Amino acid sequence: MQAACARPLSCMCCQSLTLRNLCSPSTSSRLVATRNFQHREQCQGHTGLFDLDILISKASKGSSEDEIFQSLVNDRACDAINVSHNLIEGLLHRFKDNWKSAFGIFKWASLHSGFRHSPETYDMMVDILGKMKQWGKVRALLEEMSQRSLITLNTIAKVMRRFAGGGQWKDAVRIFDEIETLGLDKNIESLNLLFDTLCKENKVEQARAVFLNLKQHISPNAYTFNIFIHGWCKVRRVDEAHWTILEMKGHGFRPSVISYTTIIQCYCREQNFNRVYELLDEMQAQDCSPNVITFTGIIFALAKAENFEEALQMAERMKSVGCKPDTLFYNSLIYTLGRAGRVHDAIYVFKVEMQNASLTPNTCTYNTMISMFCDHAEQSKAFELLKEMQDSGLCKPDTQSYHPLIKSCFKAGVIDSCLNDILDYMVNKHRLCLDISTYTLIIHGLCRADQCEWAYSIFEEMINHGLVPRHRTCRLLLDEVKLKNMYGAAEKIEDVMKKLL
């Protein structure tokens, strides 16, 4: 095992402010032996655990939703739990990336007398199943919701987006065609949902075909055209976005700050800042003043392109025209200052300017600061911010909060001494369910650190929780296990890769 105080994380491991100090005593034990950090029992038995802890413990084990459902039904401690909407919503959020556990809990809660799922919990369950491409179960749940008249436009939006996101865009269109049988109206509001769904999944031409087919029956509104402007920009066909503005005017609608800002953001992605500045001038000529969202997007793009001085000048320009900053603006400003190496200025914005503007930092603000400190090898300050976020009650850490810290572990080569503690803190302290990006980060880091046995155990856990690894992750891990002559592991990885084709 490598020395726990190896640089540059010595401050993290040796000073009083470490993750072990931040963790409660019940979560500070080592997880190296099992390497299975995500759903470890917090202590023996159920004594002293809250209802949430009991259900998380039970629902974390099982190879199918039915097995999980039966374990909940047959457990006396679970039987004594008072089921509430808040409890079920919390559990569904906890298992949002683990459909088997989520669905087992959902079905178990349905058995309790006096309890009926709310439209919100139904929508959450539909979304979780759709995310994991469990289309048959989605359809069955929609039928159940329809019988209870619980389907809303929010439900339809989630179903359409999951179908389109899963490559089933024709099913998304079919849902719109069937919308009246589900108790909703075919109107411009529901049609815009379909357009928005298709455009966000880069199916703009398909959305356009539906538009041309239905525009004589359902009249478009200004939002319809803004959806298409965004869609064309997303697929980098900015000329069509400009033509859509002309079409918008032809239908009697005036392009708004949203219309122009969308095109500006497209030019920002292309780093075509000359066109950005031209459009800003055009907006002013059209008496359509840019807003804080317009400026924030430009500042962030300039910073990503390492045009830090231009980005800071744009921030001053925004203030000079009387555009009031918001939290997202300050997040971009902090990011810019951090990338420019002006750490002290970023801290001043975070601690003083935002407070003077009566703005509260959000999770993204903290994440930006944490990432900045890690980039500048100041991990102890990153941990201080993590604790501040926890204690302030203003917002909660998410998985992205921990990614810079995980990367720091790999960079410093102190994996055994730090990674387990970080993961323990994520899962047991903040009850975060590891997502695909976190699993991917860990597996890739372990492979590069020549810890492919550990990486493979994490890969197996990921599969067991119903998450589909990326092809690049499988390829990297496969190459590593072959070098270690782990033939059984290689065969299983190849089986997973075949399913990805």
pLDDT recorded at residue 418: 85
Crossing angle between the packed helical segments 399-412 and 415-424, to the nearest 10 degrees: 170
Structural tokens at position 473:
């992750």
**Alpha-carbon gap, residue 461 to 451, rounded angstroms:** 16
What is the phi/psi pair of residue 8, to 5°?
-95, 20
Q: Does the reported pTM lie above 0.85?
A: no
pLDDT recorded at residue 50: 67
Q: Residue 370: what residue type?
A: I
pLDDT recorded at residue 266: 95
Q: How confident is the model at residue 30 (pLDDT cuts 50, 70, 90)?
A: very low
Per-residue pLDDT reduced to its tens digit, 288-318? 999 999 999 999 999 999 999 999 999 999 9
Q: What is the largest CA-CA distance in the chain?
A: 72
When the pLDDT of each residue in the chain is averaged and rounded to a whole number, the result is: 87
Pick the closest to residue 41 from 60, 62, 68 (CA basis). 60
Per-residue pLDDT reduced to its tens digit, 410-419? 988 888 878 8
**Alpha-carbon gap, residue 491 to 501, rounded angstroms:** 16
Question: Of the given ranges (2-6, 36-40, 113-117), which has the lowest mean pLDDT?
Answer: 2-6
Per-residue pLDDT reduced to its tens digit, 57-104? 888 888 888 999 998 988 888 888 889 999 999 999 989 989 999 999
Query: What number is the average pLDDT over the span 147-165?
Result: 94
Cβ count near 299 (within 10 Å)? 27
pLDDT recorded at residue 307: 95
- Residue 429: DSSP 8-state: I
Using an 8 Å Cβ cutoff, are 269 and 302 in contact?
A: no
Q: How confident is the model at residue 492 (pLDDT cuts 50, 70, 90)?
A: very high
pLDDT recorded at residue 17: 35
All residues at 6 or more sequence positions from 216 whose CB lies less than 8 Å from its CB, including other chains: none
Query: What number is the average pLDDT over the span 13-40?
Result: 37
**Alpha-carbon gap, residue 452 to 446, rounded angstroms:** 6
Sign, Cα dihedral of 160, 165, 168, 173: positive
Using an 8 Å Cβ cutoff, are 203 and 232 in contact?
A: no
Query: What number is the average pLDDT over the span 457-462?
Result: 93
Per-residue pLDDT reduced to its tens digit, 381-404? 998 998 898 888 888 889 999 999
Pick the closest to residue 138 from 108, 174, 113 (CA basis). 174
Cβ count near 485 (within 10 Å)? 8
pLDDT recorded at residue 49: 43
Pick the closest to residue 244 from 226, 256, 268, 258 (CA basis). 226
pLDDT recorded at residue 77: 83
Structural tokens at position 89:
């919503």
Query: What number is the average pLDDT over the span 430-455?
Result: 92
**pLDDT at residue 458 above 70?**
yes
Cβ count near 148 (within 10 Å)? 11
Sign, Cα dihedral of 137, 143, 147, 149: positive
pLDDT recorded at residue 47: 35
**pLDDT at residue 9 above 90?**
no
pLDDT recorded at residue 393: 83
Per-residue pLDDT reduced to its tens digit, 334-349? 999 999 999 999 999 9
